[in-house]
Structure 1
């Protein structure tokens, strides 16, 4: 099957494929650049992106802002004409400053999740950077698009629908995840598409929609397009690529994982997420508290005195390969990974 190119305003993307943002340090400039070079959209995760900077622990915000620029440049060096953007979580403590830094660096696109990005349009005003909220339900799509319409007299440049099979922090509570029904969620997707079309029609533009969450093969991609999606967003498949920025030990854990190793966990700020069971997660699930060494100011609603563990420490450990003492976020189909591939092989297999 041949898929049409993806148009986001005046941005033309050769292949309707977005590589999902994965932090900390899993999708940086190396992976994003490689995906953009193959004709898709490469996405850099801004979450504690400066963890490799020498002053990260003493000047965390400044290290992150510096790394936003350097990682985007690294991706541009790999794919000078590719489309490259950032995934920036609304829940981050310095969300507005990170968005503005990405815009100033020249990001083509900003995708926002982990909360409703109500003020995102104001941070990109006057720039060429496109914006795309991640929504999981018809209700959340209505809320954010209505808000942008009323307050900013504009709509989204693109919308990403992230389903219950996604990795990392999820826009569902545990009960919704336990009761997940694929046919019912397909209907939810079509309801979201109808909401997006309403605002597309109002503004006389085509707002493309990408479907994300558990998309692992060509069959999943065809299904997404059959529902009416204009693109897909895929994350976990790119972890086990040569070009992924994560440590080799992290990639190997995906390959070693069995289906029963994929579990729903609670992040320190209460949001559910999907991850690979490991010794660290066993300790957390048994109720053991692991006090943070130092607060690095990652999430706005985090209270170091109350959290069971520091999510920054756990995710940095993952990126560096200390996989027994790490939070290993993943999608529902991560256990299907069997080998290390190249980005080109993954892209070709998805769009076959």
Structure 2
């Protein structure tokens, strides 16, 4: 595998660990990935709950929490550390400003189009900006907007397909339509950014995400023109993942049919592992709801059956009776815990075997 270069940052292994909240990818997981030559990513979602002791309210606690997670990650690694900040978060601007001020290497931003993201950079900022899109059209819109308004182009682009975990940027029918598969989307995004690369003489590497699980998967998407891949689900069942063992076991114990599409209170479809909590939601049993956080701009509090950030926080802590685990389509393939180092070694072996297999076929 060739290194992944994003501006002046070079990841020896072209693997980005997806940002997973609430609390699933913090400094423990991100630093372990960075130490193996990948790009480790902190999730900024819900940090105000995890660090409520550091602030008088959710907003200030989120800011202090992100500072603390970046500090802890830096203590554990000299590798590349990014921060995932969802556009849909009500404290989006605060998290972006904090990440830049704290000198995060990269900001990954999706769950909406981050059209004004470059406006937060200062003249001395070194943080790279990487939007997450679900189509070639979205990639082109962002490139045009950023170049016109800010004379800035994305330092890379993540294209996330319909097999990803968590909130998905597709309508439900599209999730099962091959025309929206990641295999179709990657070449489209590569083509969309090519005109900007040529016109402005800037390399914009495309990173494929959503359902990538094996070394063979990595090889296939690199062959389609991606410069790297993003993997989230694959890192959940590592010892270093910051989630509870109960959360990890939900993956290990899941069957293929347990990984299902749900309708999230934030107004988007999502992919999660079926459990008793979600069964109750389907039956119309509402949790007593109040909204002390106002964490997501699009959340319809008046009609929501439950508070999503509380449900995800409960799952992170291991209380799956009052929450659930987001997961990618291939989560059911997990069957054991392993270290991040072991995972990287396994992926490299699988990748090399896939390359060798192709070479042997061509040779014969």
Instruction: State if a TM-score over 0.5 links the two structures.
Output: yes
Question: Relative to structure 2, which stretch is displaced further, 4-13 or 61-70?
Answer: 4-13
**TM-score (structure 1 length as normaliser):** 0.96
Q: Which is further off, 86-95 or 321-330?
A: 321-330
From 224, 241, 266, the counterpart of 2:263:
266
Q: For residues 132-172 of structure 1, what are the alpha-carbon distances to aligned partners after superposition, in whole Å with 9 as ceiling and x for unaligned? A: 00011112112111111211122100000101100001110
Structure 1 range deviating more: 186-195 or 151-160: 186-195
Contact 2:54 2:64 in 1 (8 A): no
1:47 is matched with 45
Unaligned runs of 5+ residues in structure 2 are 350-364
Contact 1:213 1:233 in 2 (8 A): yes
Change (3 A) 1:161 1:226: same
Among 203, 206, 210, the residue aligned to 2:203: 206
- Output aligned runs, 1:1-352, within 5 Å: 3-55=1-53, 59-79=57-77, 81-126=78-123, 127-180=125-178, 185-352=182-349
Structure 1: which 5+ runs fail to align?
none
The total of aligned residue pairs comes to 348
Taking only aligned residues, the RMSD between alpha carbons, in angstroms, comes to 1.5
CA contact (8 A) 1:19 1:32 kept: yes
How far apart are 1:57 and its partner, in Å?
A: 9.0
CA contact (8 A) 2:55 2:64 kept: no
Over residues 168-221 of structure 1, what are the superposed CA-to-partner deviations in whole Å (9 max), with x where a residue is unaligned? 011101010132457x64233211101111111122111111100001001100
What secondary structure is seen at the aligned counterpart in 1 of 2:325? coil
TM-score, with structure 2 as normaliser:
0.92
In the TM superposition, what is the alpha-carbon distance from 1:307 to its structure 2 partner? 1.3
* Conservation of the 8 A alpha-carbon contact between 2:246 and 2:318: yes
